[in-house]
Amino acid sequence: MKQIALTGLKPSGAPHIGNYLGMLKPSLELAEKFQALYFIPDYHALTTVRDRKQLADLTYQAAATWLALGLNPDEEIIYRQSDIPEVFELAWALSCFTAKGLLNRAHAYKAIVDDNIAAGREADKNINIGLFTYPVLMAADILLFGTHFVPVGLDQQQHLEITRDVALTFNKNYGNVLTIPEAVIRKEVMTIPGTDGRKMSKSYNNVIPIFAPPEQVLKPVKRIVTDSKRPEEPKDPDECNIFAIYQHFAEADAVAAKRQLYLEGGLAYGAMKQELFELLDSAFADKRDRYNALMNNTDELDRILENGAEKARAIAAPIMAKVRKAIGVST
Ligand code: TRP
């Protein structure tokens, strides 16, 4: 059997260009070489999303995103985390092999603690245990399937290190039971700037969506921050937020020509923005239609996800049996 590539797309709303270039596109490329298991970690979202309709809708959005971008459910395996009860069983077992100090140092948890302390609040104010043990559940997501490769954004690097650490601790006690996974992080696409020049991120309100109607893509593209150089002035393309996005969508020779135009002078930012918009529109128009069609047919999404869960559980079952046997609980 092919080696396994696995990743989770958190149900956190409509995807933007930063998600697409940083994680979705590289993942779909890996799926050509490996057996892909791409899932939606809906129970992870429960650490913050408390509205049942919202959680269900966000989960459909994430599933439709994978499928609209070309994930083929006949070859790749797509499922909801909550359809795989073994994940939660394994999470418990792994939690008994996770040093609490390791989780104390996890970035997401630590950031909230630091905020609390800075504001003079109790360190763990508003932190639930689900948020604290989030990395353990993620380790279970990965280790349950004998995963070899995990394509993720740079922000998930520490979670992968925790996963490996926990798996090694488990194996040290029981022998070679769990496969030690490797993160696949494409550093060159980790610095996609948003419209204000900071990293593109929903929390900065600087995103360019990929499935929104054209006018909602054009608006943020027009807002991309540039310097105030006139068209005839020479410019450094590597300092330009428009070019930073453009170069990932245009053909190589067009990128080279554009680079030349920046350097020599003659490029107007307004025209460059229009060109970027047209490129994005042609890259995503069909995918947007497919996304909308899927979001209007959640029965079809349910069918695909249930089908995927069945295939995923077939891979998980023998691994979970091995884990149970190793530990000495009921088999
Ligand atoms: N923590 C990941 C994120 O925030 C989502 C995730 C959950 C995940 N489980 C995973 C990613 C397993 C890769 C593998 O994006």
Q: What domains does the chain contain, in order, with CATH numbers?
A: 4-192+297-327 (3.40.50.620), 202-290 (1.10.240.10)
Angle at 309 between CA 305 and CA 311, to 5 degrees: 120
Closest listed residue to residue 188, CA positions, set 26, 66, 71, 15: 26
Give the count of beta carbons closer than 10 Å to the beta carbon of residue 144.
Answer: 27
Q: Compute, in angstroms, the gap from residue 156 CA to the centroid of ligand 1.
A: 7
Distance (Å) of CA 80 to CA 62, 84, 87, 128: 10, 7, 11, 23
Residue from 44, 65, 203 to probe ligand 1 pocket by mutation (most atoms less than 8 Å from CB): 44
**CA 12 to centroid of ligand 1, rounded, Å:** 12
Q: Is 163 in the pocket of ligand 1 (CB under 6 A)?
A: no
Is the CB of 142 inside a 6 Å radius of any atom of ligand 1? yes
Q: What is the pLDDT along the chain (331 residues), one digit of tens a residue?
A: 799 999 999 999 889 999 999 999 999 999 999 999 999 999 999 999 999 999 999 999 999 999 999 999 999 999 999 999 999 999 999 999 999 999 999 999 999 999 999 999 999 999 999 999 999 999 999 999 999 999 998 889 999 999 999 999 999 999 999 999 999 998 877 789 999 999 999 989 999 999 999 999 999 999 999 999 999 999 999 999 999 999 999 999 999 999 999 999 999 999 999 999 999 999 999 999 999 999 999 999 999 999 999 999 999 999 999 999 999 999 9
Q: Best mutation site among 152, 184, 202 for ligand 1, i.e. most ligand atoms within 8 A of its Cβ? A: 152
Residue 7 backbone dihedrals phi, psi, to 5 degrees: -150, 160
Shortest-distance Cα residue to atom 9 of ligand 1? 138
